Amino acid sequence: MALLLTIFGIGFLLFIHELGHFLAARAAGVRVEVFALGMGPRVAGFKRNGTDYRIAAIPIGGYVKMAGEDMLGDGADDELFSKSPRWRFLIFSGGILMNFLFALLLIPILFRIGVPVQAPIAGSVVPGGTAWKAGVHPGDRLVALNDKKLLSFSDFASTIALSNVEETLKLDLLSPDGEVRRVEFQALYDESIGFPTVGVYQGISSVVAPDSVASKAGIKANSEILAVDGVVASGNGDLQTLLFQALLHGNPIQVTTLVDGVEKIQTITPQAIDNAGSPQLGIFQTHQSVRELHPDYQTGLRVGDRITHVGDIEVRDQEVIREATLRNGNRLPTLTVVRDGETLELSPTLTAADFSAAVWLDVEPNVMRIHVRPGGPAAQAGLQNGDVISHLGLEKPNNFAELRSTLKVWVDTHQSEASLPPLPVMATRGDEIVDVEVQLAASPGWDYGIGMSSRMEVVKETSIVAAIGTGVGRAQAMVRDAFLSFQRIITGRISTKNLSGIITIGRTTHSIASVGLVPFLFFLCMISIHLGVLNLLPIPALDGGHLMFLLIEGIRGKPVSERVQIWFNLGGFVLVMSLVVFVTILDIQRLVP
């Protein structure tokens, strides 16, 4: 069903765009020779009243071929260029108007029905990020950004991504306990993703996969997971933290669920995943060094401290401290801290959420301190938590990026051999030098049948008047975001690696169609607006290029010469086809690991 909706949805958007040109041409009295969905050779269709209605072989775009549009006609009254500039402007803008009209009419209807959206709630806030420094906490509701109401988390994320990095952003928040406050920050450009960010990620909720070990254990799809192994998971990300720690060991877990007001405790025995991944050492880089402290909290810590233990548990990173705190009744256990060569014990009064909001733990500068995966290759070879890697073979990596690169070279060098030889590893453990040989292996995988998805809520207006107001505002925001997206890409403020072609659009459409009809139609409205904006840009061979020529004609009082238009459109066609090839390559790269 989702596949059929995807094919229908994309085809329908192309249809209404070309229908706009077709209706405008008919209204102007222009003879339409071909109405096509797709490009290239004719695959199927029919002819009626002098028009060939066809489906073409290449499912990219579509076109309406009008009499005389190639400027080779005999000047008959029913040819395109016999019409006035005003009529031709209407014809070339007809598709764009239909794209906008479709979204403008449908979006208010959808808001009256109820549109599922990503809840505008901060799920996790990256320690050290600009939002963390400004005081955004996990669980905060994102109410408005720069005085514009946020209907969904995607509204927040897109506004941040399209902002100027030098711009001060004003975010209104509502905390879980009802406190209203405003914070200010600036976005920072992130090279890894190719656009600005502030380090806030959306809220998540659990999803029970059908036919999984969780569903076979009796956990229903609509179950609310309250606790894991008796540890309450009430805050944002608590469940994710508890499940991640379970994944390291692969042990059975007891899950407390709530369904229809009834609590149940069920045991999930994980299923081993056949792991064909690349050979690994089985180590993590430790994040124990206090990089920064938020001034709103009293922790007793200092920048530069190294937290080695939380209670009697060795610290790998912030998540280990979070889990230990949750298991201690959401009270932070005693911290063992190394400060200026001395070992201290501190007992700040903090919850798991407080610690995440108060402390930024990072790696130690120029130190390759590790935490070993239980039962992994490094652990089996004798490496221990807290060891500091100095050499892999003959190489001396300075950081984990170089370590991964060295590891890849080792694997690639020996991949033709019958079996991968052990990798010599040198590490220091206090004053002791440790030499081991590690037999690399793929990390084991475990499936508990519980995944994470975006936390959703439904935006539904109680009256048609309110739905129209919300819908029109949402449509305007989509148009604005579409224009800003193209502007930011052209000026280099958003990386071209974020462009998507028909493959990614098709996959996304299919994914959303699987969720439900209303999200699917809402997504089609967004695509329709982007299609309209794209065709409005003065790109040769597209509608915007024709409109640009008509504007020049209106200013000059005479049309641009046929020679200039032909060469301009030919160059535009080559440009558009090159762009299609480029984004298709990007789409394929996303599909291939």
Fold of 205-275+446-452: Pdz3 Domain (2.30.42)
- Residue boundaries of the structural domains of the chain: 2-114+508-591, 116-202, 205-275+446-452, 283-443
Is there a contact between 245 and 314 (Cβ–Cβ < 8 Å)?
no
Q: Contact 421/437 with Cβ under 8 angstroms?
A: no
CA separation for the pair 198, 160 (Å, rounded):
7
Whole-model pTM: value is: 0.80
Lookup: tokens for 176? 């879980």
- Long-range (24+ apart) CB contacts under 8 A made by 216-224 are 216/449, 217/255, 217/266, 217/267, 217/268, 217/269, 217/449, 218/264, 218/266, 219/255, 219/257, 219/266, 219/268, 219/449, 219/450, 220/257, 220/259, 222/259, 223/257, 223/258, 223/259, 224/257, 224/258, 224/259
Q: 116-202 and 205-275+446-452: same fold?
A: yes
The alpha helices in 141-237, defined as continuous H runs, are 153-161, 213-216
**37: three-class secondary structure by DSSP:** strand
Along the 593 residues of the chain, how does pLDDT read in single tens digits?
667 777 778 788 888 998 999 999 999 999 999 998 887 889 999 999 889 999 888 776 678 899 887 766 566 888 888 888 899 999 999 999 999 999 999 999 999 999 999 999 998 899 889 999 999 998 899 999 999 999 999 999 999 999 988 899 999 999 988 999 999 999 999 888 888 999 999 988 888 888 899 999 989 888 888 999 999 887 667 888 888 888 888 889 999 998 888 899 999 999 988 765 788 899 999 999 999 999 889 999 999 999 999 999 999 999 999 999 999 999 999 999 999 999 999 999 999 989 989 999 999 988 999 999 988 899 999 999 999 999 998 899 989 999 999 998 988 888 777 688 999 999 999 899 999 999 998 887 889 999 888 888 999 999 999 999 999 898 888 888 888 888 888 888 888 777 776 666 667 766 777 778 899 999 999 989 988 988 888 887 788 888 988 888 888 888 877 778 778 777 777 777 777 777 777 667 766 65
What are the residue ranges of helices labelled H in 496-542?
502-513, 517-536
What span, in angstroms and rounded, lies between the C-alpha atoms of 499 and 354? 38
Burial, 558: exposed, middle or buried (Cβ in 10 Å; 0-12, 13-18, 19+)? Answer: exposed
297-326 b/e (C-beta count within 10 Å ≥ 16 → b): eebebeeebbbbbbeeeebbbbbbbbbbbb
E strands, 100-252, are 115-118, 122-125, 141-145, 148-149, 169-174, 180-185, 188-190, 195-197, 200-202, 204-208, 224-228, 231-232
The CA radius of gyration of the chain, in Å to the nearest whole number, is 30
Topology of the domain comprising 283-443? Pdz3 Domain (2.30.42)
Tell me the C-alpha to C-alpha distance, in Å, between residue 290 and each of 33, 294, 441, 586.
71, 11, 32, 39
The topology under which CATH files domain 116-202 is Pdz3 Domain (2.30.42)
Cβ contact 377:281 at 8 Å? yes
In the chain, what are the helix, strand and coil shares in percent, each to the nearest 5? Answer: 40, 30, 35
Specify the 3-state DSSP secondary structure of 118.
strand
